[in-house]
Structures are given as C-alpha cells and as structure tokens.
Structure 1
Amino acid sequence: MNTFDRQMGRRDALMVIGSSAAAVMASSARGADDPSKGFIDAHSHIWTQDTDAYPLAGDQTKKDLDPPSFTDKELLAVAHPHGVTRVVLIQHKPYHGLDNSYIVDAIAANPGVFSAVACIEAAADRPQDEMDRLKKKGVRGFRIRPGEGGSDRWSESDGMNAMWRHAAETGLAICPLINPEDLEQVDGMCRRYPETNVVVDHFARVGIDGEIREKDLKALTALAKHPKAHLKVSAYYALGEKQPPHTELIPMIRRCYEAYGPQRLMWGSDCPYQLTGPNTYGDSIALIRERIDFFSDEDRERILRGTAEKVYFS
C-alpha cells in the first residue's frame, strides 16, 4: 500500500473517534434535517472494527487498520459541522478488496445520505452483471486502476470495455484512480465511449511529489474536451505542500476551473486521510468556500453540491 493510500496517524484517529453522535445532532450545519440541502463530500472511505461482519482482505487483522476505526457515524460527526450532509463512499480496496458490503450497508442504514463507488473484478466474464446488482443497492460509480482488467491497457481488456460500455448504457460512472502518466489511457477510453460519465480522482495526483508540472497540468485539462469527463478537487493532504492552507493549489484549481467549468468539478475530502495533522476537514472545504476569490457563489454551490449530486445522487 503506498503512502498516498495510508497517511492517517493514530493520534488524529483518536481525535476523530472522540466525536460523538451527540455532536452530529447538536450541529448547526445547514441541511442537518434534510440531507438534500447540505453540501456533498464526493470522496470518503469508511471501515469498522467489526471485522467478523466485514472481513479484511488477505491476512490483515484489526491491527492493520489505520485509523483503527472510521465508521459512517464517525465520518458524519466530522462532516456535519461543516454543512456536509451527503457523502460519496469510496470502496477501500486495500482493506476490503472487492467486498463492497460495508459501504452498501451504510447506504441502506442512512437513506438519502450516502452514494458509493464500488470496486469489482473487471476481468470477470460479465462485470456488467455485478454493476447492475450494486446499482440496485445505491452504488453509482466504479473505481478502476491501471493494470486492472487482465491487461496493462484498458483498451485491450474485454471486461474493462464492457464496464465502460455498460456505464454509458445505465448512467453509471467510471472513476479512475491514476497518476498523470495514465491520463492518456483515460483519454483513449473517453474517445471510445464518449457517453460514459468519467470522474478522475484527486487531480490525477498531479503534484503528489510536491511539484505541479506544466506537462501534467496540460494533460489533465486536455481531458476536459470530453463533455462527460469530470474531476475531483480533492486530497489536498497529499498534493503540493501537503498542509493548510492549501493555497498553493489554487493556480492548478483555476486551470481546471477554466477547462472543465464548475459544472464538472466536485469537491471531496478524501477522509480519513485528510485528517492527518496538520490537515483538517475544515481546511479542505474552506479552500472552496472561502479562499478562492474567482469562484462565484453559484460556482461554489456546483463544486460543493451540484456536480456530485448530478453524477452520484440522481
């Protein structure tokens, strides 16, 4: 597991776990009684200590969970005070593999609060059957990585092609977790399947080594020529200077804003990793709400709610 996927410290986990359900109820967050009126966090992971009900992948044990727990309730306790009332849950493949039951159960237990992006076996004979099964349970997207599907190239994988094709037919999203060098693959698949909704995670990790290179930014913004391509403005803890106030990312955000428009950008925290000190949930959402002067109020509404609502909650 790389450092991007596991950067949550145990000290910060204890701070999160200390948040109680009472804090959620006491919150003055906008839309607390009606989830549809609040903001949407388009990217968070959850897991639980109940590894009997939700087994860990491989030979992992509870000792491998870092933080030890980040449940749906713990997530909402962090999100609600900032006006966030809905969240897109991202299957945490390192811990749970292709068993999406925990995020699916969270959707069922919290009507109207969660949507989800699942992980499935793209190399299966008919991955579209699993896509249909999970769609009925509230899943609206499917996370893919380079090398999945039984081939180094997505375009050469029968299963991956079936996923992209079926996503277009059913209104589902394909959500690539990639590095800048993989944008070329995404571009090729977007050309092949122009009606497929695509949501690229975390700026395609441009700036993960601390440097935002012009060639990477050009490739990222060039993807906007595909009308169904969307981008997550997320995971600030892992990009640029990797600490608040995250304003060094504003020039990159501006370039993406000019290319995609606010209607194809969505904010996500990438909790619980964004809670790694000195990073906080508040600093993540504040970058969009308060620290970017070229956003209009309408732009903020789209980035903090409208885009994710269209893709994941419609």
Structure 2
Amino acid sequence: MKELQLKNHSHFAHSRRQFVSGAVAAASLIGTTQLNATPQATAPAQQDTGWIDAHVHVWHPDTTRYPISTRFKTTDMQPASFTPEELFANCKPAGVKRIVLIQMSFYEFDHRYMLEAMRAHPGVFSGVALIDYRRPDLVTRMEKLAGQGMRGFRLHSQGDADQWVTDPGMAKLWAAAAEMDLAVCPLINPTDIQHVDALCAVHPDTTVVVDHFARIGVSGTIEPQFLDELCQLARFPNTHLKTSAFYALGKKSPPYKDLIPMIKRVYDSFGPERLMWASDCPYQVQDQHDYASSIALVRDHLNFLSEGDKQWMLCGTADKVFF
C-alpha cells in the first residue's frame, strides 16, 4: 500500500482496495519482550453469554432516510447494505451474541442509524461514536452520547496525530473519557503509535483501545520496529488492543496463520485480559474472506492460549470495556 495516512475521517476499510493490492510477503517477527504478560489467565467471571465481536459497522442502503456525509459517495458504500440482520446471519452461527458497533465514517457525526439499531436490539449492541474533539460543547456531547449507550469515542489519524498531544480539545476528550469511564479508540497507522504513546503517558487513567494492531501489516509485511512500539503501549495498564481485521493484514488470506507470531507477541506483552478479538465486518465477509475464518484463528489455531485466555479475548475483555 502506497499511502497509510487516513484522510477526512475515512474508515480503515474505506482504503481497503489499497490494502489488498499490497505485497503479501510475510515477515518473521523478532523478539519476545514481555510487558505485563499474564499467560494462562483465569477466565472472566461472566460466561455462557456467547462471544463478543468488538468491531463491526452497520449501514442502511436508504441514503434518503439516512444521508451520508458529503465527503462520501454512495459508490463508497461497499457492500451497498450491511444491516444488523445481515450481520446476524454471519455472526450467530459462530456463537457471537453481542457486538460493539463502530460508527461508520459514511455517516460521520450523525449516529441515528447506529442508535436505532442499538434500540431495536437491547442488550446485543454497545457503541463507539465519532466525535469532533474541537467542538466547544465537547463534554456535553460526550455525556449525551454516553447516555444513549456509547461506551467509547473513535479517533481517526488524518496525518495530524503528531499534533494530538498538544491539542487542547484532545486533552479535554481524554480527560473527560477517564472521568466518565469511557474508552478512547484510536484508528492509527503504525507511524502514529508514538503519538498515542505520548498521550497515554499524559493521560494514564484513560481507557484506550487501539484498533486493528495499529494497522501493522497492511503493507503485507509485519514491521518489527512498529510491533516493538505497539507492545511498549502495554506498560500503560489501561491500554487495550484489538486483534482484528485479519483480512487486511499480512498475507491477507484465510486461515491467517501467518499472523500468529504477531498475536503471540502482543499476547506476551498485554496479556489476554487486554486483548479483544473483532471481525471488522462487513469487510471480513467479502471476496475470499468469511466470518468463520476470523474467529477460528483465535478460537482454534492459537495453541498458546488456555481456555481462560480464549474467554478473555473472545468475550471478557470486550465485556469489561464496552458492556
């Protein structure tokens, strides 16, 4: 992929055509530095509630009823529709009963469709909102969204992540999130990990959930230096990581076993209690990819995980943070 920077609040998968055209060579991973590792973890207390998919987008094909941002075109909506019913057809056979919805960039700051889906399926969905951290009524807006069921706020790197640590609106967002026990969820490029690290150092009480391995591997190569930086985030006890979007990383081919060394590395660093699996649907169910292969990588192919570890990664961590 020639360009890793996200622009104009574009979603990780909005640039998916670039990701899948990248090289598919897998890199060997070096080092097994352990930071706060907790292998063979005790299973979370809540069980028998099904698995949790910690990252899914939904949207509706009716753009008159649910208009999209002027920064997008209807042709950007691929597939044209991904409703909760279409999601359930994929996730329920895999034993996934709860889902964390992530506001789709098509809708920008208009959360009506996602909130309608949450209200229509009580107890099934949690939500992560998009928010303009520079708006003057930021905290009031955060409180309103939290009252509607949002448990986190997503950040998009637009090539400006180096300015985040000195931005007063960003400081207000991170401080308010800590006060309200809400998560900050950065969607970043590998080169932005250092800036999230700096923010975590300033706001250690804020719950942080980094999406999609910080997009390490979208080029087809797992860059060791960026993986080292990602694992260094584990020294902040409130920082979590999504092991997700397997379709877009490394060889980009099921069963995704080339990603196992990277998962083992972050497992050794964060421990299972701070890792959460996610599909990134609907992008995980396009082309040669399918839902079953995504969850199977964690459930069936990581032989270093105990049953308790699997409970954390497939349910407990997301339950703790988002439900």
User: Which TM-score band (shorter chain)?
Assistant: 0.7 to 0.9
Q: Taking CA–CA contacts closer than 8 Å with sequence separation of 6 or more, which of the two structures ends up with the larger relative contact order?
A: 2
1:5 alignment partner, one of 14, 20, 25: 14
Q: Give the Cα–Cα distance (whole angstroms) in 2 for the partners of residues 297 and 165 of structure 1.
A: 36
Runs of 4+ more than 3 Å apart: 1-4, 59-64
Offset of residue 4 of structure 1: 3.7
Q: Give the Cα–Cα distance (whole angstroms) in 1 for the partners of residues 303 and 269 of structure 2.
A: 17
2:110 alignment partner, one of 99, 103, 118: 99
Residue 55 and residue 259 in structure 1: after superposition, are their counterparts in 2 closer, same or farther (change >3 A)? same
Offset of residue 6 of structure 1: 4.8
Q: Give the Cα–Cα distance (whole angstroms) in 1 for the partners of residues 252 and 216 of structure 2.
A: 12
Residue 79 and residue 109 in structure 1: after superposition, are their counterparts in 2 closer, same or farther (change >3 A)? same
* 1:1-314 mapped onto 2 (5 Å cutoff): 4-7=13-16, 37-58=49-70, 60=72, 62-93=74-105, 95-147=106-158, 152-313=162-323
Residue 44 of structure 2: aligned partner: none
Query: Number of residue pairs matched?
Result: 285
Structure 2 contact 12–187 (Cα < 8 Å) conserved: no
1:98 is paired with a residue whose SS is: coil
Residue 35 of structure 2: aligned partner: none
Q: Give the Cα–Cα distance (whole angstroms) in 1 for the partners of residues 12 and 317 of structure 2.
A: 29
Residue 284 and residue 6 in structure 1: after superposition, are their counterparts in 2 closer, same or farther (change >3 A)? same
Structure 1 counterpart of 2:118, which letter?
Answer: I
Q: Give the Cα–Cα distance (whole angstroms) in 2 for the partners of residues 119 and 69 of structure 1.
A: 20
Q: Give the Cα–Cα distance (whole angstroms) in 2 for the partners of residues 264 and 3 of structure 1.
A: 22
Offset of residue 64 of structure 1: 3.7
Structure 2 counterpart of 1:58, which letter?
Answer: T
1:247-300 deviation line (CA, Å, top 9, x unaligned): 000000001000000000000000000112211100000001101100011100
Q: Give the Cα–Cα distance (whole angstroms) in 1 for the partners of residues 132 and 16 of structure 2.
A: 26
Structure 2 contact 11–104 (Cα < 8 Å) conserved: no
Offset of residue 76 of structure 1: 1.3
Offset of residue 159 of structure 1: 1.1
Residue 43 of structure 2: aligned partner: none
Give the TM-score taking structure 2 as reference length: 0.84
Structure 2 contact 161–192 (Cα < 8 Å) conserved: no
Offset of residue 5 of structure 1: 2.3
1:18-41 deviation line (CA, Å, top 9, x unaligned): xxxxxxxxxxxxxxxxx9711000
Q: Give the Cα–Cα distance (whole angstroms) in 1 for the partners of residues 322 and 112 of structure 2.
A: 18
Residue 111 and residue 4 in structure 1: after superposition, are their counterparts in 2 closer, same or farther (change >3 A)? closer
Q: Give the Cα–Cα distance (whole angstroms) in 2 for the partners of residues 2 and 41 of structure 1.
A: 18
Offset of residue 62 of structure 1: 3.9
Q: Give the Cα–Cα distance (whole angstroms) in 2 for the partners of residues 216 and 151 of structure 1.
A: 16
Identity of aligned residues (%): 46
Give the TM-score taking structure 1 as reference length: 0.87
Structure 2 counterpart of 1:54, which letter?
Answer: Y
Residue 208 and residue 59 in structure 1: after superposition, are their counterparts in 2 closer, same or farther (change >3 A)? closer
Q: Give the Cα–Cα distance (whole angstroms) in 2 for the partners of residues 165 and 244 of structure 1.
A: 40
Structure 2 counterpart of 1:230, which letter?
Answer: H
1:132 is paired with a residue whose SS is: helix
Q: Give the Cα–Cα distance (whole angstroms) in 1 for the partners of residues 219 and 104 of structure 2.
A: 23
Residue 298 and residue 59 in structure 1: after superposition, are their counterparts in 2 closer, same or farther (change >3 A)? closer
